[in-house]
Structure 1
Amino acid sequence: MAEIVLKDIHKYYGTQHVLKGVSFEIYEDTVTGLIGKNGAGKTTLFKIISGAEGFEKGELMMARGRRVGVLDQIPEYAPGTTVYKVLDSAFSEVYELRDKLRELSQKMAVDNSPQVMKQYGEILQEYEARGGYTIETSIRKVCNGLGIDKEMQERKFSDLSGGEKTRVNLARIILADADILLLDEPTNHLDINAVEWLEEYLASFGGTVIVISHDRYFLDRITERIIEIEDGQAYTYEGNYSKYALLKEQRKIEQLKHYEQEQKKIKQLEAAVKRMHDWARRADNPKLHKRAFSMEKRLERMQKNATPRPRTERKLSKAFRTDDFTGTEVLSIKGIKKSFEGRVILDDINLLVRNGDRVALLGNNGAGKTTLLKIILGYLAPDAGMVKTGPSVKTAYLPQVVEFKEPELTILETIQRELKIDEGSARNLLAGFKFTGEDVFKAVGKLSGGEKSRLKLCLLMQKG
C-alpha cells in the first residue's frame, strides 16, 4: 500500500524551477534512498512531504493518521533546556495520554458508567502501545546506541556543537515513535558504532523511511529502493545503491541507443523534406510543397519529443595547488594533553607525520578528534605538550559545518574576493567544481551543506 504519493510536483524559488513534475510513490514499511547532486531539490522534497513548504503545481497524498518525524533543521529550545529534556520532549503526546488517564481515573471514582470505562480502556491501550510504561528504558537504549552518555544528557542543548545537536535531534525523532521517518544525512556526525546501531535500528523499524544520504555504503545496507532527483525529475530504481548504479548505467546505454536511432530518423526526414521541396520547386507543383510542409510538421514533432542525449557526469577536475616542499617531517606532536572543565579529552598524544603520509583520525563521538585538529591548527592551546610543523608546511582545514563570513555574496563574488581573480578565471575554476551557468549567482548563504563544502574545498585547494 502506498503511504506517500507525489504526482507532477512543481516547485519554484523565484525564477529557478527546482522540481519539474516530480512523481513517485513510497510504499508502507519500506526504506527508500533519495539521492541526487547537491542542490538537486532533495531537502526541498522533504519539506514538501512534511508540510513545511508548499508547491506551485501537482498533488501530494499521504495515508491518514500517520505521524511523521523529520531530521533536517535543528529546532530551537528555551534557554537552559538540557539534552535530557530535549529527548524527553519526544514523549509529549504520551504524557498527554497519561494526564487523560489520571483525569478519567478520578472521574471513575464517582462515575463508573460504561462510556467512561470504555474511554479509559481505549486511552490505556494507546498509552501502552506508545511506550508509556517504558519511557526511561527507551531513552537509555537510544542514548546508548547513539553515544549520548549521562554527562551529555545533563548539558545544555545550546552548548552543544552542531554535530552533537544533530545527533540529539536524531535520537529525539527515533524516540517519538513516528510511522514515517524523513532522515536528511543521518550519518553525518555519527561515529562508526553509532552508524552501525542506526543501520540495525532501521532494519527492524516497523514503519516507512525515506533517507537522503551521500554515503553509498550506508544506502547499500539499508535501502530496498532508490529514487534519484535529476534535472528536476524523479527516477525510481528497485534495489539498493549498488543495484541502482548498475540499472542507471543500463538506462543510459538504452537512452543513448534510442537517441542515436531517433537522430538517424530525424536526419533522414530532414533530407527527405529538402528533396521534396527541391522537386516541388523544379516541377512547380503545389501538391509536392504541401506534402513537404506536412513532413516538416512531423519533423517538428519528432524533434520536440526526441529522447535527450544522456549526459556524462562532470567530475571534479581540479587538484590541490602545490608548492615545493623540502624535508621529511611534516608534523610532530609530543605529549599533548587537553581537558575541559575537569574532563580529560586528550592524554599524552604523540604522533609523527612524514612527507607523503595519509592519516585518518578515528574514534567515538567526543573522543577528541576535532579538538586535536584545532590544537594542530593553533585554534586551541594544549594544557601540555607541543606541536611542531615543518618550516614550509601550509595547512588547510575543512570543518564539519561550513559557514562564510559574507553569506549574502554570490558564489562568483566569493571566489573573486578570496582569490583576487577576474570573472573569467573564476568561472573556469568553478566549472571544475561543478558550479556552472546560473549556479554561480547563488548566494553562498543559501547553498546546501554539500554545496558549501564543495565551495570551501575549491578555495582551500587554490590557496596552497
Structure 2
Amino acid sequence: MIQVEKLSFGFPAKDLYKEISFSLEKGQHCAFIGSNGTGKSTLVDLIIHPDQYLYDGKVTKDASCRIGYASQFAVRDKEQECTVFEYLSERFVKNQQAIAAVCEEMAVAEDVAPLFEKYQALLDAFEAMDGDHYANNIRKQLYLAGMRELEEAKLSQLSGGEYKLLQIMREMLLSQNLLVLDEPDVFLDFNNLNRLRQLINGYKGTLLVITHNRYLLNHCFDKLLHLENGDLQEYDGNYSEYRCSQIKEKLKLKVQSLEEQEEIERTEKMVDILRARASALANPVIGSAVNAKQTQLDRLRARQIKAPFIELREPKIEFQAVDTEAERTVLSIADYNVSFDDSLLSNINFELRAGEKVAIVGANGTGKTTLIRDILNNNHPSIHINEATSYACLSQLKDENMDETKTVYEVMENLGFTTKERIQAYLGEYCLTGDTLKQKVGQLSGGEKNLLQIAMIANTNAELLILDEPTSHLDLYAQMALEKALINYKGAILMVSHDFYLVANCADYVLLVEDNTIRRLRTRTFRKMVYDKYFDVKYLEIDKKKQELEADITLAFKKNELNNVDKLCSQLEALSAM
C-alpha cells in the first residue's frame, strides 16, 4: 500500500527524519508511536499530501490506494441538526444525487460523451464504497460499535466521544483501503474506548493509527512503527512483544557498551603511557605507535553504541514540596447545580482535604469539564477554595493557561525565568529541547503543549493541583513519568481523567459522575467496576504486573545489575505471552 524509502525532511528550526524507510502492507493494522514532538502527525500528512512537501527520498503509493483520514481535533458543528444515520449516509446520498443530476443532463444534451465519462466516474466511486448496500453497512457499523440505539439520535444530543467515533465510522464506511487515524482515543471514556477497539478490530482495510493508548496498543495492532530522534524502527508484531524485544536489545547493547568502555579505557591508558615515553625519549618509533593507538582510540569512540530506541526520552517531572496541614479543607462544594447542553448536574457536594488525591470520572458529556471550569473561575456561590491555599491548573482549552501567539521562551520569561540558559536547562528536563524555545505555543504538538503546562505547574509551590485530562496527547514515557510525579506529590489533587492507569495508580478515591450527580467510590471499588463493565480483569492484572516488572528492570539497569535485568526480562516475556 505504502513504500517509504530513505525519506529525509525537516523544518528550518528542526530536522525530523533522517533517511527513514518502511512499508505498509495491505490489511495490516499498524500503530505509529514515538515521543511527543518527533513529527508523527507531520509524517502522516506528508504521506497523504506528498506534493505539498519538499523532501529527500521516495514515497510510493499503490495505484489502488484510497486514503481516509480522521483528525485528532474533531470539532462538532452543534448547528448540524441531522440524525446519526443521516450524517453517516450524507456522502452516499450526495453521490446518488450527483448521478441523478448527470442522468438528467444526458437526457437533453446533444453531446453526451463528456457527461457519460462523468457519470461513469461517479458510478465507479459509488461502487468502490459499496453504495448499493450503504444503509445496511451503516447499521452493521453502529451495531459493531454498540451504538445501534443512536441511529435516529440528533448529532447535538451526542457526547464529544460519540461524535468522534462517528467521524471514524464515516471514513470506514467509504471503503477507503488505507485509513489514517490521528490519536482517535484522546478524551474517550471507557465505554467509547471499547467501542473504538471494536471498530478497529472489525475493520478489514489497512490502518495506520497514531496512538499513545496502552489498551489499544495491546489489543488492536499487528505492526508497529516507532519514530525517535529522526530515526524509525519497524516491527512486525504486537506492542508487548516489541517492548520485550526492546529491553532484550537494550541488555545486549548495554553489555556491549560496557565491554567497549573497558577497551576504550585500556586504550586511553596505553596512549598516555606511549605519549609520555615519546616525550621523554624523542623516539620516532614510539611516536608512530602513539599515532596508531590514538587512531584506534578514535575508531573505538566513533563506533560506541548510539541507540535512539533504547535510551528513550522520559521527562523528569517533579512537583515542588509543599506543607500539607492535616485536616485542612482546601476545596468545598455544596449544593452545586448546573445545566449544560440540555443536561444537568445537580446536588453536587464534596470536600477535598489537604494531601488528598481525587479523580472525577464519568462518561463523555456528563459535565466534568463544566464543573472543573466553575472551580477554576472560583466565582460560583456553591464553590469555595480556601483562601490560604495556592493552586495551579492544567487545562485542555485553548489559550486558557498560555497565549498561543507567544513563543515558548516568552511564556517562560513571563514566569520569572531570567536567562535563556536557565529556561533551556529547565525545559530540557521535560524533553522540550532544541529550537522549541523559538516556536510559538500554537505550533507545538498536543503532547508538547501538555508537557509545557506541566513544567509551568511544577515551577510553582501550589498546594492544590486541578488537572483536566493531564495525560491527553502525552507519549507513553511522559504518561508514566507524570504518574510517578503525582504519586510522589504531597499536595492535594483534583483531576478529570479517562486514563484508567492514572486514576487506578494515583487517586485515593474516585468521584463518579452518573445519573446527573456524583457519588464517591474507593479506588478499589472503582477498579472492580471497570473490570466488570469494560475491561478484562485478567488483562488489567497482567498489564499492571508488566508495568511493575518494567519499573524493576529500569532500576536494575541504573544499578548495572545486568544479571537481574536478564531474569526480570524472562519474567516479562512469559507474562507477555499469556
Deviations 1:364-398 (A, max 9, x none): 221111112222223785xxx82233343344332
2:197 is matched with which residue: 174, 180, 199? 199
Structure 2 vs 1, CA of residues 271 and 429 (structure 1 numbering), >3 Å: closer, same or farther? Answer: closer
Partner of 1:190: 188
- Indicate if the aligned counterparts of 2:336 and 2:382 stay in contact, CA closer than 8 A: yes
| 2:58 aligned with 1:56 | no
Matched residue type, 1:255: L
- 1:206 to partner: Cα distance: 0.6
Equivalence for 1:13: 11
RMSD in angstroms over aligned alpha carbons? 4.3
SS in 1 for 2:360: coil
Give the direction of change, closer, same or farther, for the CA distance of 1:445–1:42 in structure 2 (3 Å limit). Answer: same
Given the superposition, is the C-alpha separation of residues 332 and 281 from structure 1 closer, same or farther in structure 2, using an over 3 Å criterion? closer
Q: Which amino acid aligns with 1:346?
A: L
User: Does 1:366 find its partner at 2:368?
Assistant: no
1:154–1:413 Cα change, 3 Å: closer
Look up the match of 2:428: 431
The alpha carbon displacement at 1:454 in A equals 0.9
Instruction: After superposition, give the CA deviation of every residue in 1:49-92 in whole Å (9 maximum; x if it has no partner).
Output: 11164242111112112211122365899996557699748753
Aligned to 1:308: 306
Instruction: Tell me the residue number matched to 1:224.
Output: 222
Structure 1 window deviating more from structure 2 (209-218 vs 119-128): it is 119-128
Give, in angstroms, the shift of residue 430 of structure 1.
2.0
CA contact (8 A) 1:94 1:132 kept: no
1:332-363: CA deviation from partner (whole Å, max 9, x where unpaired):
3333222247x232132333333333322222
Decide whether the 8 Å contact of 2:30 with 2:223 is kept in 1.
Answer: yes
Q: Normalised by the size of structure 1, how large is the TM-score? A: 0.79
* 1:190 Cα deviation from its structure 2 partner: 1.7
Q: Which runs of no fewer than 5 residues in structure 2 stay unpaired? A: 109-114, 463-578
Find the aligned partners of 1:350 and 1:316 in 2 and give their Cα distance.
36
What SS does structure 2 have at the residue aligned with 1:202?
helix
Contact 2:80 2:155 in 1 (8 A): no
1:421: Cα distance to partner?
Answer: 2.8
Equivalent residue for 1:256? 254
- Aligned residue runs from structure 1 range 160-175, under 5 A: 169-175=167-173
Determine if the alignment matches structure 1 residue 462 to structure 2 residue 459.
yes
User: 2 CA distance for matches of 1:254 and 1:295?
Assistant: 27
Task: Report how far residue 445 of structure 1 moved.
Answer: 2.0
Instruction: For residue 107 of structure 1, report the CA deviation from its aligned partner.
Output: 6.8
The residue aligned with 2:471 is: none
* Aligned-pair CA distance for 1:301: 5.1
| Distance change in 2, residues 1:120/1:231 (3 Å) | closer
Partner of 1:112: none
Instruction: From the superposition, tell whether residues 387 and 251 of structure 1 become closer, same or farther in structure 2 (CA, over 3 Å).
Output: same
Q: 1:16 & 1:319 partners in 2: Cα distance?
A: 30
Task: From the superposition, tell whether residues 122 and 4 of structure 1 become closer, same or farther in structure 2 (CA, over 3 Å).
Answer: closer
Q: Distance in 2 between matches of 1:122 and 1:44?
A: 31
Aligned mates of 1:400, 1:142 — CA distance in 2: 30
* Alpha-carbon distance in structure 2 between the residues aligned to 1:413 and 1:377: 24
Write the distance in 2 (CA, Å) between the matches of 1:93 and 1:287. Answer: 85
State whether residues 337 and 349 of structure 1, in contact with CA within 8 Å, keep that contact through their aligned partners in structure 2: yes
Corresponding residue of 1:113:
none
What is residue 413 of structure 1 aligned with on the other side?
410
Which amino acid letter does the alignment assign opposite residue 333 of structure 1? I
Tell me if structure 1 keeps the 8 A contact 2:378–2:384. no
Task: Judge conservation of contact 1:184–1:212 (CA < 8 Å) in 2.
Answer: yes
Contact conserved, 2:6 with 2:21, CA < 8 A, in 1? yes
**Deviation of the 1:19 alpha carbon:** 0.8
Q: Given that residues 74 and 166 in structure 1 are in contact (C-alpha distance below 8 angstroms), is that contact kept between their aligned partners in structure 2?
A: no
C-alpha displacement at 1:14, in angstroms? 0.5
Instruction: Please state whether the residue corresponding to 2:317 is helix, strand or coil.
Output: coil
Partner of 2:386: 390
* Alpha carbons 2:340, 2:367 under 8 Å: kept: no
Report the CA distance shift for 1:28/1:446 in structure 2 as closer, same or farther (over 3 A): same
Match of 2:21 among 20, 23, 40: 23
Instruction: List per-residue Cα deviations over 1:76-129 (Å, max 9, x = no partner).
Output: 9999655769974875377436643775699799xxxxxx99x99998787456
Q: Which one is further off, 305-314 or 61-70?
A: 305-314
Residues 325 and 392 in structure 1, CA contact (< 8 A), matched pair in contact too = no
Q: What's 1:247 paired with?
A: 245
Query: What amino acid does structure 2 have at the position aligned with 1:420?
Result: G
**Residue number in structure 1 paired with 2:318:** 318
Greater shift, 54-63 or 450-459, is seen at: 54-63
Percent identity (aligned):
25
Does the Cα contact within 8 Å between 1:11 and 1:56 map onto a contact in 2?
A: yes
Q: How does 1:22-421 map to 2 (within 5 A)?
A: 22-51=20-49, 53-72=52-71, 74=73, 88=87, 92=91, 95-96=94-95, 99-100=98-99, 127=126, 130-136=129-135, 138-139=137-138, 145=145, 152-153=154-155, 169-265=167-263, 300=298, 303-308=301-306, 311=311, 313-320=313-320, 322-325=322-325, 327-340=327-340, 343-378=342-377, 386-403=382-399, 405-417=402-414, 419-421=415-417
Instruction: Provide structure 1 residue ranges, at least 5 long, that are not aligned to the other structure.
Output: 110-115
Q: Classify the secondary structure of the residue corresponding to 2:217.
A: helix
For residue 153 of structure 1, what is the amino acid of its counterpart?
A: L
- What is the CA distance between 1:179 and its match in structure 2? 1.1
Structure 1 388/315 Cα, relative in aligned 2: closer, same or farther at 3 Å?
A: same
Shift of 1:208: 0.9
Change (3 A) 1:278 1:137: same
AA in 2 matched with 1:202: I
In the alignment, structure 1 residue 422 sits paired with structure 2 residue 418: yes
Shifted more, 130-139 versus 185-194: the winner is 130-139
The CA deviation string for residues 135-159 of structure 1, in whole angstroms up to 9 with x for no partner, is: 455556656849778665258xxxx
Alignment TM-score, normalising by the size of structure 2: 0.65
Over 3 Å counting, the alpha-carbon distance change for 1:146 and 1:10 in structure 2 is farther
